[in-house]
Amino acid sequence: MKIVFVSPEIAPFVKTGGLADVAGALPGFVSNDEFEVIAVMPCFRSLDRNAWSTEFICNIDIPWADGVEKAAVFMTRMPASGVRVYFIDYAPFFDRDGLYGERGMDYEDNDRRFAFFCRAVLETCRAVNFRPDVIHCNDWQTGIIPVYLKTLYCSDRFFQGTSVLFTVHNLAYQGLFDPENVINATGLPWSVYDMYGVEYYGRFGFLKGGLFYSDFLTTVSPRYSSEIREPEYGMGLHGLLQNRVDSLAGIINGIDYDIWNPGTDLLIRGNYKVDDTGNKKINTVWLCRFCGFEYDERVPVMGMITRLTEQKGIDILASAFDELMKREMKFVLLGTGDEYYHGLFSDFAKKYSRKMSVILRYDEELAHMIYAGSDMFLMPSKFEPCGLSQLVSLKYGTVPVVRETGGLADTITDFSTPAWEENNRPNGFMFRDYSPDALLACVDRALKVYEDSDRWNQLMVNAMNCDFSWSASTEQYRELYRKLFRMKDNLI
Ligand code: ADP
């Protein structure tokens, strides 16, 4: 089977978030004798073409507005798996400093940039003669690929056998635009601009296009796939998602244990493993020194690495913070995001300098040290499609304290889960209400258990023994691809 994996970003080439990690890993894991996989993304300025030795493949013509535009296609291979990655080079849209915007502002032509990209993906398949059985789209930037296929390309023989799988990594980003602009640029028929189509409260919704026109939908955790069918999490799309419940599944993301492994991680100060965690302390001592804390084995360090947005529960953390700082604990926060929270947490760091530290930047190396050096990891998310940070924390024996939502609910088993429950292996602490009080009560439970080193060590062992590698999820994606293939086969 031939699979085209489409994503606006793919690690290690270009990355701004978790989607890039998934896109950099999954195609390689899926690929084998049965599945031939290629990946496609835009050729952004930040892609270092020399470093990745990209080669020119061909030029393609893209029907656009009232004419035709020329784009170039470059190619390289993924470092570990050798999967071919094609880059769509079209300078007016992609040769810019940012991926989606600059200085906190989205580019005003993002609709045209990504509509162009979607069409270029289809034309690239044709140009390199890769006739896809499944096009696997990811997030709103790829959402109108199935819209093109069901309209302008519906009688194109090249794509007769093609199905579309659409994966939602975050329903909060919908790609909503002025319909006139999109229709004029793409030539899509106005008939798609309908409540039963791409229309979303007077806007052209790229994500909605993906959700409506794709053959099958997935989210990145089972819990999130049911949450988004409810008004609380559905962002106005819960009705559509409920209607598509028979074509909607959740598959949890994996993480790459070659990168995230405390036994081999070169970015941490002391390597350790589940049957010998003694060296974890070396990292804690280092982290305390880095943060300007006095190290005290009896006082746990809580870490948090996050985008500073309300999705991540930053607002309830801020409300609880003065109370939290009355506890016997240290707190280190690494993150970037809303200016407002930059200011607020910088003020907290000044006020509680002996037990709280905040680092407002993106820092991969420091992130490794926080995962390794902390005792607990906080994720009080309002919603969480999957979450990678708790999976990393588990591997590093850094016990997650999380809110019960999305992928957090699917991967964390609360300490208090009754022993008679099936598969009971508590690996963290979880609270349900989205409130400062519930957060504090949960932290208090964790602090209490920390006082008992035997029980805490057992939690660490349970956490480190969890397996969230890509293998299980990869098999689920393969099974879905096969299912789509069979469905199409029956139709033609
Ligand atoms: P998101 O919703 O942001 O994708 P995830 O938990 O799925 O959240 O993934 C976030 C990833 O980005 C994690 O691997 C986390 O370690 C990393 N990360 C987030 N903020 C920073 C930062 N400021 N510095 C380094 N790594 C970060």
334 lines ligand 1 (CB under 6 A): yes
For residues 375 and 400, is the Cβ–Cβ distance under 8 A? no
Q: What is the 3-state secondary structure (H, E, C) of 217-261?
A: EEECCHHHHHHCCCCCCCCCCHHHHHHCHHHEEECCCCCCCCCCC
Q: How far apart are CA 98 and CA 101, in angstroms?
A: 5
Ligand 1 centroid to Cα of residue 364, in Å, is 9
Q: Which pLDDT tens digits describe the chain residue by residue (492 residues)?
A: 999 999 999 999 999 888 999 999 999 999 999 999 999 999 999 999 999 999 999 999 999 998 999 999 999 999 989 999 999 999 999 999 999 999 879 999 999 999 999 999 999 999 999 999 999 999 999 999 999 999 999 999 999 999 999 999 999 999 999 999 999 999 999 999 999 999 999 999 999 999 999 999 999 999 999 999 999 999 999 999 999 999 999 999 999 898 899 999 999 999 999 999 999 999 999 999 999 999 999 999 999 999 999 899 999 999 999 999 999 999 999 999 999 999 999 999 999 999 999 999 999 999 999 999 999 999 999 999 999 999 999 999 999 999 999 999 999 999 997 665 656 789 999 999 999 999 999 999 999 999 999 999 999 999 999 999 998 899 999 999 999 999 887 665
What token pair was written down for 482? Answer: 């096969």
Q: Is the CB of 388 within 6 Å of ligand 1?
A: yes
Whose C-alpha lies nearest to ligand 1, atom 4?
Answer: 18
Q: Give 399-451 as a 3 state SS string.
A: EEEEECCHHHHHHCCECCCCCCCCCCCCCEEEECCCCHHHHHHHHHHHHHHHC
Rounded to the nearest angstrom, the distance between the alpha carbon of 285 and the centre of ligand 1 is 23
The three-class DSSP label of residue 66 is: coil
Closest of 18, 442, 433, 443 to residue 232, by C-alpha: 433
Q: Is the CB of 385 under 6 A from ligand 1?
A: no
What is the Cα Rg of the chain in Å? 23
**176 phi and psi angles, rounded to 5 deg:** -105, 130
Q: Which residue has the tokens 């496609």?
A: 40
Q: Determine the length of the chain.
A: 492
Contacts of 228 (CB under 8 A, 6+ apart): 168, 171, 219, 234, 235, 237, 238, 241
Q: Which domains are present in the chain?
A: 2-254+471-491 (3.40.50.2000), 280-467 (3.40.50.2000)
Q: Is 247 in the pocket of ligand 1 (CB under 6 A)?
A: no
363 CB less than 6 Å from ligand 1? Answer: yes
Atom of ligand 1 nearest to the CA of 364: 25
The DSSP result for 344-394, as a single string, is: HHHHHHHHTTTTEEEE-S--HHHHHHHHHH-SEEEE--S--SS-SHHHHHH
